[in-house]
Homo-oligomer: A and B are copies of this chain.
């Protein structure tokens, strides 16, 4: 379907960019999650010839948790989800790409309500049990009526294991779909955790947002689920940055159907039986978050920034983010230059305790600076070889305390500028 020429339409054909050289080598087989059914459709929101709406339907008794953008100007769907998360119950999720329904005022709120009503009618639930996310253009009204004709069909044919198709339907400028899966034991039960995500960084032609949805057949009460999610996000999605820009729509939701065989219903996050689940959930989120960094706009290098010896973990995080968001560090890595002077600069500008004369810096495991000066044993050919690899680790030891943290990012390339600046020409 290509209706670019129809008046009043604003449909764009996205020519698939080459897949990121940092993409994972293989895609895992995604098992079904008992109690979850997924279907996708072409609603023609903005794109032609591709799916742009995802409907997930959950069995009765499904609980839900969510974390959202810290933006002071969140999108209408983010406001909708926050408002309806209190009940902790979910029966459906609708995600569209092509239009973010952000900065759309009253119209945006009306479109959100209408979408939820269409989905509720088709799925046979209350609209307050429908969760929503939108990604795409900011500031353009979302025509929710386009969802009406596809909803009933989506519900009718939704199979149980279309996670890869689901991941494809929510892509914008992503160059590959992002899925991850893990198994965990809760008591005697074996539960599944499946996740999908779409690209991070604020994304080209006006398309924004990191979205991720995770589904499990474990039986966990809403407040416990929320605690588990907040805990797992801290060192995964919250430790990834592409350009330091925060979308108005960032959304991560976790749905638990409780349908796994023999799974005890867990009321508290502190329950020791959740130990294995907790680890598996963190692994799924970490995997998805890393994929998001690997698909950063124009990325040619995956950069891991490790800061240790800080006065606290919070301080280490701030310093790591200062390094990971520095345009000068990112361009240096893109240029395969182990420019530790710029790392010093980024440490210094973070505003956190740091003592130049105690600072040591490694690129790719090789120490290049030690106690406030160039390492006398600096092996330049070894460092040059390390910088040519697609994955670069930058480690900074501050020598002040025990605070440690790790952040993932990617380099800043001319392709980033082309993606974000050139599309008008």
Contact = CB atoms under 8 A, between A and B. Distances in A.
B202 A328 contact: yes
A224 B342 CA distance: 35
11 contacts: A72-B349, A73-B348, A202-B345, A245-B346, A248-B348, A327-B327, A327-B420, A328-B420, A331-B420, A413-B421, A414-B414
Given A334-B417, A412-B421, A414-B417, A353 B72 contact: yes
Interface residues of A, number: 72
B327 A416 contact: yes
Interface string A399-414: 0000000000001111
Nearest to A354: B72
A336 B425 CA distance: 9
Given A327-B416, A327-B420, 4 more contacts: A71-B345, A103-B369, A105-B371, A206-B341
Nearest to A372: B105
A344 interface: yes
The main secondary structure of chain A at its interface with chain B is loop
A418 interface: yes
B418 A344 contact: no
Contact of A417 (B208, B339, B346, B412): B412
Contacts of A341: 100, 102-103, 137-139, 206, 208
B72 A352 contact: yes
